[in-house]
């Protein structure tokens, strides 16, 4: 089932708090999207509305051309795994059996393979799992659901580095074999960034940026080289972030470089690299509420 996402002037309020402020976006089906934002930016609120967990206060949401709220035909095609894992207080094997009955695209053999890769104890009560194991169980539920719209909201939190590597290795592999729309919300930008075909950045309930990952990274440039040379080159540019290691400096500047500036950098022995996605994120959301 092809499920493009269309959001127009979406507003969500919790009492006096506006979590989403007339947010509009369009997501083509069959891509992996990264959803970035600071704490309190509205990421979880957006995903909750897309999954029909919450009703919008205003605006329109269309998943596959239909409003998902109280629409079981559409919601059965959507899977949102939140940080908590959204699992009931049962033994792991019962949770998987419930998902198998609930999810029309569920792949039991794949779920069993994921359980083995993550080393999950199937007979153990979910409440007795470690935080990392609960996160891994949530990722199993999301991946094996094969839902046409699958969303992970910081669902990897608590997982150690090897488990996270398993998660995004499996995500890429299974996405290649079974294309669908996947949205991953994360603060681990540099670690998860290579997964994303497109990136959305939101802040204070509004969309700041939405573009292909490579296109976003060309909004600025990282100038790398000897400290003094980098300092001279960037003297009339806006430096967003900078790092030093011994006598070497990396300065991220705002805005793309002109061909003349690139030739000058090369002549001075400086490297010009795409801006790190995390640096761009920090720059765009600077001044937001943490």
Digitized pLDDT (tens) for each residue of the chain, 290 residues in all: 778 999 999 999 999 999 999 999 999 999 999 999 999 999 999 999 999 999 999 999 999 999 999 999 999 999 999 886 566 678 999 999 999 999 999 999 999 999 999 999 999 988 888 999 999 999 999 999 999 999 999 988 889 999 999 999 999 999 999 999 999 999 999 899 999 999 999 999 999 999 999 888 888 899 999 999 999 999 999 888 888 888 899 998 988 899 999 999 999 999 999 888 888 888 888 744 43
In the chain, which residues fall in CATH 3.40.50.300? 5-212
CB 188 within 8 A of CB 171: no
Tokens of 191: 């670690």
Tokens of 134: 């609960």
Report d(CA 153, CA 134) in Å as an integer.
14
Q: How many CB atoms lie within 10 A of CB 234?
A: 19
Report d(CA 52, CA 35) in Å as an integer.
18
In the chain, which residues fall in CATH 3.30.70? 220-274
Report d(CA 273, CA 271) in Å as an integer.
6
CATH class for the region spanning 5-212: alpha beta
| 220-274 maps to CATH 3.30.70 | yes
């Amino acid at each position: 089932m092809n499920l493009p996402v269309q959001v127009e002037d979406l507003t969500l309020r919790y009492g006096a708090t506006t979590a989403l402020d007339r947010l509009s976006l369009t997501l083509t089906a069959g891509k992996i999207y990264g959803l970035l934002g600071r704490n309190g930016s509205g990421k979880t609120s957006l995903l909750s509305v897309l999954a029909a967990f919450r009703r919008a206060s205003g605006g329109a949401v269309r998943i596959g051309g239909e409003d998902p709220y109280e629409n079981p035909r559409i919601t059965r095609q959507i899977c949102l795994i939140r940080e908590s894992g959204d699992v009931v207080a049962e033994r792991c094997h019962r949770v998987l059996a419930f998902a198998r009955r609930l999810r029309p695209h569920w792949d039991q053999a794949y779920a069993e393979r994921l359980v083995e890769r993550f080393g999950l104890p199937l007979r153990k009560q979910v409440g007795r799992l470690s935080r990392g194991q609960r996160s891994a169980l949530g990722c199993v539920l999301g991946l094996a659901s094969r839902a046409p719209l699958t969303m992970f909201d910081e669902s990897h939190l608590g997982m150690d580095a090897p488990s996270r590597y398993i998660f995004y290795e499996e995500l890429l592999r299974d996405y290649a074999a079974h294309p669908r729309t996947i949205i991953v919300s994360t603060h681990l930008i540099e670690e998860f960034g290579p997964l994303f075909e497109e990136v959305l950045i939101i802040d204070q309930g509004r969309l700041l940026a939405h573009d292909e990952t490579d296109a976003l990274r060309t909004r600025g440039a990282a100038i790398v080289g000897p400290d003094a040379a980098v300092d001279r080159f960037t003297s009339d540019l806006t430096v967003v972030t900078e790092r030093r290691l011994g006598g070497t400096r990396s300065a991220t500047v705002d805005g793309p470089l002109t061909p003349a500036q690139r030739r000058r950098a090369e002549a001075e022995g400086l490297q010009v690299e795409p801006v790190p996605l995390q640096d761009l994120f920090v720059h765009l959301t600077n001044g937001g509420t943490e």
